[in-house]
Amino acid sequence: MPTGTRAWDPRTTGSHAVRRERQPRARGWRSVVLALLVAAVVTGLLRASVVDVYWIGSDSMQPTVEPGDRVLVGKLVDGTELERGDLVVFDGRGSFAPLGSGEPWPAQALQTLGRWSGLTGSESVYLKRVVGAPGDTVACCGPSGRLQVDGEEVAEDYVLEGDRPSDVEFSVVVPEGRLWLMGDHRSVSVDSRSLLGAPGGGLVRTDKVIGEPLAVLWPPDRAGQL
C-alpha cells in the first residue's frame, strides 16, 4: 500500500453520510421555527395596532351582530370623529365593566388565550352603537315613541324588530370626549341607560374606543361587511 494512503473504512464513510444528512434537516426545522416566530410577531403587531378579531357572545346587538359571530375590527379609529349610528368596540373598564378582575392570573391567562384565538369573548370589551355623539342631547322618547336627538325624533332601522327604542326614560347631554352607546336589541342590552345613576352616567370616554367593526368573518353564512 503506498505511503500516506488510508484504508477505506465503511464505518467512517457512513458516519460522515449520517452527519451530512442530519445537518440539512436540522437547518430545515430551524427555518420553519423561525418563520413561525416571525409570522407570530407580525400577526401580534397587526392585531395590536391595525386590525383584530373579536368573538361576540351576547345577543345585545341583534340583528346586526349575532351571538357566536367573529367580527373583524379596524383599530385605526379616532374616537372623537365618530358619528351617530357608528358601531364601536370599546374598553368598558371604568364604565361598563369593573376596573379590575378578581380572577387569579392562571384564569386571566386562559381568558387572554381564548380571546386571542377567537374562541371566547372578553369580559371588559363591548360592541355597541353610537346613539349620542359629543354635543348631542339624547332623550326618550318623543311623541311617536322614537328617540329624540337635539329635539328631533330619529328613525332607527337597526333596532331589533318588536323592540321599543327604550323602556327607560332619560334625557342626557353628551359632553365633549364622551359617547352615549346603546345596543340594537334594546330590551336586553346593558348599555349607557343601565348606568344612568352610576359615576359617569353611562357615558363612555372617546379614548376608550378600541376600533370600528368592519365585517363578520364567521360563520360563513353571515360573512360580509357591516
Q: CB-based contacts of 86: which residues, under 8 Å, 6+ apart?
A: 129, 130, 212
Q: What average pLDDT does this structure show over 135-158?
A: 95
pLDDT band with cut points at 50, 70 and 90 for residue 23: low
- Which pLDDT belongs to residue 219? 94
pLDDT of residue 38 exceeding 90, the answer is no
Pick one of 2.10.109.10, 2.60.120.20, 1.10.150.120, 2.60.40.10 as the CATH number of 51-225: 2.10.109.10
Sequential DSSP letters for 153-217: E---TTSPTT--S-SS-EEEE--TTEEEEE-SSTTT--SGGGGTTSTTTT-EEGGGEEEEEEEEE
d(C-alpha 186, C-alpha 163), whole Å: 6
Task: List the single range of 16-20, 123-127, 132-136, 215-219 with lowest mean pLDDT.
Answer: 16-20
- Which pLDDT belongs to residue 220? 93
pLDDT of residue 70 exceeding 70, the answer is yes
Q: Each residue of 171-197: pLDDT tens digit?
A: 999 999 999 999 999 999 999 999 998
| pTM for the full predicted model | 0.74
For 5-30, letters b (16+ CB in 10 Å) and e give eeeeeeeeeeeeeeeeeeeeeeeeee
pLDDT of residue 99 exceeding 70, the answer is no
- Which pLDDT belongs to residue 110? 47
Q: CB-based contacts of 12: which residues, under 8 Å, 6+ apart?
A: none
- pLDDT above 90 covers a percentage of the chain that reads 57
Query: What is the residue extent of each domain of the chain?
Result: 1-49, 51-225
Q: What average pLDDT does this structure show over 47-60?
A: 86
What integer best gives the mean pLDDT of the chain? 82
Give strand pairing partners of 172.
138
